Structure 1
Amino acid sequence: MKDMFTVTTLPDKIESEIVKYIKNNKLVPGDSLPNEIEFVEMMGVSRNVVREAMSRLRMLGLIQTRPKRGIVVTEPPLLNGLRKVLDPSFLSVNTIKEMMGMRIALEIGITDFIFTNVTNEDIEQLEIIVSRQKAIGVNTLSVEEEMLFHSKIHEIAGNKFILQLNGIMQPTFVFAKENYDSHFRPVNLKLKEQNKIVEHADLLQFIKDGSKDKYQNAIKLHLYPYWEFVYNKQ
């Protein structure tokens, strides 16, 4: 069986060689690369082959052509590829559950960052979001509306990667709530009967009080329907 990373065509080989050139010469974003003609002479292949290889690297975000600079190394946008292919309608239930599990881990794991970084201005913005949600009615919130609170929380945590990842995964959360409502509804009803529903207003109050441990316990309960979904074996 062929290795999935096996180089199979000449453009594949040249693409790999250009990446190797960048690594071997310890080039970093902003550093210049040889032009197409120089790579043709260096690698002994046609210009069309080099052009195709470099076109692929541009699509990956590894290189870019800039006025008066020529070809330069760039920092690739790590999540762009994921953004293009992450359509929840193509995902299995198990994959959706894995993504939900990752969200739970992220939401709980960023607690320390939230309490370290939060400002009075952040709290004011969260209060606006919560007030709007109360006006709409907690039980009638769309997933997109609900995610506004969590997006702001991720912003406060100060990790752009998490913020971008959450934005990319959001359609999957919408898809899950719309297609697996038969799971979420009874879990939420049970929590309501037990008086264990944790709303965004509750989470905000713990942030305002500086109660990190209470917030962390509350966010776990807030996400409990997702937890049940992840570990539901049916």
Structure 2
Amino acid sequence: MAIDFGQIRRSEHLPARIAAQIARDIAEGKLKPGDRLPTEHFLSKALGVSRSVVREAIAQLRNEGLVETRQGVGAFVTEPMARPIRIEQTDLYDRESFRDLFQLRVPLEVEAAGLAALNHTAEDIQQLDTALAHMTGAAKWTEEGIIADLAFHRAVAAATGNSYFTLFIGFVAERISLAINAARATAVLEEIVEITIAEHLAVRDAIAGGDMAKAREAMRRHLEGATSRLNLELP
């Protein structure tokens, strides 16, 4: 079945919607450089969502350079000059633009998996395991499962020991969250979730085993699976 890219708009997940609204407020000047965002607790209560959803939205804004977070203080709107990259959500409702972004993801994440196998720490493996635990638990059918999926990919990026991988993969992964929703909406949910979990587990085991070639291959297989689930053709 071919993906209807209108489905991406309809299935856009909660963190992306919240991040897009905050981004609009920043663009329209309702939130100005230096302003502190409301706390996670306030936003979760005001929006009727969990704090993990709010945390994911703020992570997306941080990856886009729209906000910076200060430990123990909160998230603050950045100066425009400090914002490195920005892709509007609406750009990705177009199949060609979405394919181009996915094409960028493949070499980034395949290489990241290899470097993670070489450079990971015990803490990095723990972060991968935490994400996998959330992906395989009862919440795997829900929004929380998608958040855990994104957390896994950010953990792989962090395990490279290269902050640029963390920056760029974090940014790309937030946009690819649209793909997770689209794929879930056009397949048997139980099948696609279990397949995706198995692919992530293979990546985790290869990284933990320190096998660069196997980690790259496992990530490549996962990304090829993801593209096939979206009926996207990559050269």
Instruction: Quickly name the TM-score band, shorter chain normalised.
Output: 0.5 to 0.7
Q: Which residue of 2 aligns with 1:151?
A: 154
Q: Which residue of 1 aligns with 2:123?
A: 121
- Distance in 2 (CA, whole Å) between partners of 1:226 and 1:132 is 19
Q: Which amino acid aligns with 1:215?
A: A
Shift of 1:157: 1.0
Instruction: Please list, as runs of the form range in 1=range in 2, the aligned pairs for 1:196-207 lying within 5 A after superposition.
Output: 198-207=198-207
Counterpart pick for 1:172 among 175, 183, 196: 175
Q: Which runs of at least 4 in structure 1 moved beyond 4 Å after TM superposition?
A: 137-141, 179-183, 188-192
- Distance in 2 (CA, whole Å) between partners of 1:179 and 1:129 is 21
**What is the TM-score of this pair, normalised by structure 2?**
0.52
Shift of 1:138: 4.4
Query: Which structure is larger by alpha-carbon Rg, 1 or 2?
Result: 1
- Distance in 1 (CA, whole Å) between partners of 2:206 and 2:120 is 12
Structure with more relative contact order (C-alpha pairs < 8 Å, separation 6 or more): 2
Structure 1: gaps spanning 5 or more residues:
1-75
Q: Which residue of 1 aligns with 2:89?
A: 88
Q: Which residue of 2 aligns with 1:101?
A: 103
Say if 1:206 and 1:212, in contact at 8 Å, map to a contact too: yes
- Distance in 2 (CA, whole Å) between partners of 1:211 and 1:110 is 13
**What is the TM-score of this pair, normalised by structure 1?**
0.53
Shift of 1:137: 5.3
Instruction: Please list, as runs of the form range in 1=range in 2, the aligned pairs for 1:12-27 lying within 5 A after superposition.
Output: none
- Distance in 1 (CA, whole Å) between partners of 2:141 and 2:223 is 15
CA RMSD of aligned residues (A): 3.3
Shift of 1:99: 0.5
Shift of 1:181: 5.0
CA change 1:129–1:196 in 2 (3 A) is closer
Instruction: Please list, as runs of the form range in 1=range in 2, the aligned pairs for 1:13-92 lying within 5 A after superposition.
Output: 77=82, 80-83=83-86, 86-91=87-92, 92=94
Shift of 1:136: 3.2
- Distance in 1 (CA, whole Å) between partners of 2:127 and 2:196 is 26
Structure 2: gaps spanning 5 or more residues:
1-80
